[in-house]
A and B are shown apart, each in its own frame.
Chain A
Amino acid sequence: MNFVFSNKAKVLSYVLIAIGVITIIAGYFLESHETHHTRWWTNLMINGFYFLAISLGALFFYALHFATETAWAVMLRRVIEAVYSFIPIASVVLVIVFIGATMHWNHIYHWMDNTILHEFVVESTMDSDHPVYFDSVEDAEAAGQAVMANPDYDHIIANKTAYLNVPFFWIRTLIYLGAFIWFARWFRKRSLREDEEGGTALHFKGYKRAAVYLVIFAVFSSTLSWDWIMSIDTHWFSTLFGWYVFSGMWVSAMNIITILTLYLISKGYLKDINSSHLHDMGKWVFALSFLWSYLWFSQFLLIWYSDIPEEVTYFITRIEHYKVPFFGMFIINFAIPMVMFMSRDAKRNPGFLIAIGTIIFIGHFIDTYMLITPGTMFEHWHFGWMEIGFFVGFTGLFINRVLTALTKAPLQPQKSPYLDESLHHSI
């Protein structure tokens, strides 16, 4: 049975998108120009990354359930495919932010600023629009220029230019996004072909490709979080940052897949999904909330304990200026799922899953906010109409695209070798 995107849902998604569009336009003009629209760009980045994270988590779980030959999740395949169909749109949003950063329309990536990367500057050009920089006195003498020490020189960032430079950043970004989009399209195509052909040959092709994707994603999920997120706080580094971002992606994705499945059930679709499927989804959200909290706390504990100046700055900024959202989102994302999803009955209760799921959805949005904003806005942060408007708008776009993607294929895979086992899932 195919899903029909009801008019009510369509209108709702368009209203949300309209709120977003109004906020985006109003936000750009109402925010003062002296700050280079930092708040506006930061919001674009947060929402682009958050919804990409949800879609990437979905694609990861999709590959994971193929590679581990998990039968029960076969019934959810079309839902997961719909969620990861958002990857290209979120990618475009991120690419716009990165183009803005490269063109210096925004200052999200401090390391893209040429003025801090060179040790010497020609004195007479210093106050002009295009100062001339040199990396050593010898170079300057060879060019016949008298130079002085560059007052803005930042040797920590300058020493990272072998990795953090604009061309290499773009190469990496395009490889990540290209790989994600290519794999997502391939998996979707395979799935639709399986509906017609069936058999195990196609299934094992998916199995193999999923294993390849997991290896690629293991590397890319780490490096993309360094490139896109960690490099915002350029001086700072953390070795488990990649896992932390990845665990956030995964839990948000499982949460959205659960909510979407429950929505479809409430509309009378996916009748063969039983309480065991729901129980398993609830377990995923429960367990992954622990994984996320575990990594959040591991990162915090090690840095708090060793108390090394270049590491603690990250948490000092957040604790001094962002205390409420910083600790608040940790409590929301850890304590609420822990207490609420502990019992078996709660994980089998659709109303409960949706209510707590919505809280986690907002909680992880604030987590993404906390990843990005302190590095771009420092202590001048706001959480007001612009943040909410952007989030509402992108949520509307996400709902619209995902529900549209759901209409394009039967909601239940027709011929997967594991379909029968999934139909009889019982725990």
Chain B
Amino acid sequence: MAAQNNMTKVIHAMFDDDHRLLDAAGDLVAKGVKIRDVYSPFPIHGLDPVIGVKRTRIAIVSFMFGLTGLSLALLGMWYFMIGDWPMNIGGKPSFSLLENLPSFIPVSFEFTVLCAAHGMAITYMIRNKTLPGMPAVNPDPRTTDDKFVMEIADVENPGMSTAEIGEMLKSAGAIEINEKQLA
């Protein structure tokens, strides 16, 4: 039977306005449609809870990278400036990390920020598979410019035909609807 094949069929509904897409997503979810993803050139505020995207854990990652940076900076400075070869700079205390801590604060702060920011950015790119040189996964290059695409997979919406969903999308303001077979 045709409906029983292993191919996943996805519907790509294109919108030209983020607010219309947001309203359409709300409508569709209320009617029981499961939206797989949305491709957009910029973040759409308020969309995540509507389509059921879980809250990002990137803040926790960032905090852990920051702590790593702070510890590495302090460990490094302790080793270079106190442990291995105490250095007398301007007569500041050079035999104890704690007594000379004020001098080390700027470097610790900067290294914390550096590690948190870079770690967060790189983690983000790995998780999204968008490291430089990785193949693009967005369905339509126009979503990097001024269009928005909503992706709905038929396997996630049993009991609804693609035609039915397409009809709902049309009435919700989609300007273009494409169906694609994914392997």
Contacts and interface: CB of A to CB of B under 8 A. Distances in A.
A305 B59 contact: no
Interface in A50-95: none
Given A301-B102, A305-B90, A427 B45 contact: yes
Contacts of A317: none
Nearest to B103: A305
B45 A305 contact: no
Interface in B66-125: 90-92, 102-103, 105-106
Nearest to A304: B102
A300 B103 CA distance: 11
B102 A426 contact: no
Contact of B92 (A297, A305, A426): A305
A344 interface: yes
A342 interface: yes
A305 B102 contact: yes
Given A342-B63, A343-B59, A426 B105 contact: no
Contacts of B103: 301, 305
B45 A426 contact: yes
A344 B59 CA distance: 9
A301 B45 contact: no
Contact of B106 (A300, A301, A344, A426): A301
Contact of A297 (B46, B90, B105): B105
Contact of B102 (A300, A342, A343): A300
Contacts of B45: 426-427
Contacts of B91: 307
A307 B63 CA distance: 35
Interface string A290-305: 0000000100110011
Contacts of A300: 102
Nearest to B55: A344
Interface in A374-427: 426-427
A240 B63 CA distance: 30
Contacts of A304: 102
A301 B59 CA distance: 30
Interface residues of B, number: 11
Interface string B43-68: 00110000000000001000100000
B56 to A, nearest CB: 10
Interface residues of A, number: 11
Contacts of B102: 297, 300-301, 304-305
B105 A301 contact: yes
A305 B59 CA distance: 35
A301 B106 CA distance: 9
Interface string A271-305: 00000000000000000000000000100110011
B63 A426 contact: no
A202 B92 CA distance: 58
A18 B63 CA distance: 47
B38 to A, nearest CB: 17
A297 B92 CA distance: 17
A424 to B, nearest CB: 10
A426 B43 CA distance: 13
Contacts of B46: 426
A343 B103 CA distance: 29
A301 B92 CA distance: 12
Nearest to B91: A307
Contacts of A307: 90-91
A343 B105 CA distance: 23
A297 B102 CA distance: 8
Nearest to A343: B59
Nearest to B89: A305
A337 to B, nearest CB: 15
Interface string A307-327: 100000000000000000000
Nearest to B60: A343
Contacts of A343: 59
A305 B116 CA distance: 28
A427 B49 CA distance: 12
Interface in A230-260: none
Contacts of A426: 45-46
Interface string B20-62: 0000000000000000000000000110000000000001000
A326 B4 CA distance: 74
A307 B103 CA distance: 13
Nearest to A298: B106
Contacts of B105: 297, 301
Contacts of A305: 90, 92, 102-103
B77 to A, nearest CB: 15
B174 to A, nearest CB: 24
A305 B89 CA distance: 10
Contacts of A342: 63
Contacts of B92: 305
Given A305-B102, A342-B63, 5 more contacts: A297-B102, A297-B105, A301-B102, A426-B45, A427-B45
Q: Which 10 A-B pairs have the closest CB atoms?
A: A301-B102, A426-B46, A304-B102, A426-B45, A297-B105, A427-B45, A305-B103, A305-B90, A301-B105, A344-B59
Interface of A: 297, 300-301, 304-305, 307, 342-344, 426-427
20 contacts: A297-B102, A297-B105, A300-B102, A301-B102, A301-B103, A301-B105, A301-B106, A304-B102, A305-B90, A305-B92, A305-B102, A305-B103, A307-B90, A307-B91, A342-B63, A343-B59, A344-B59, A426-B45, A426-B46, A427-B45
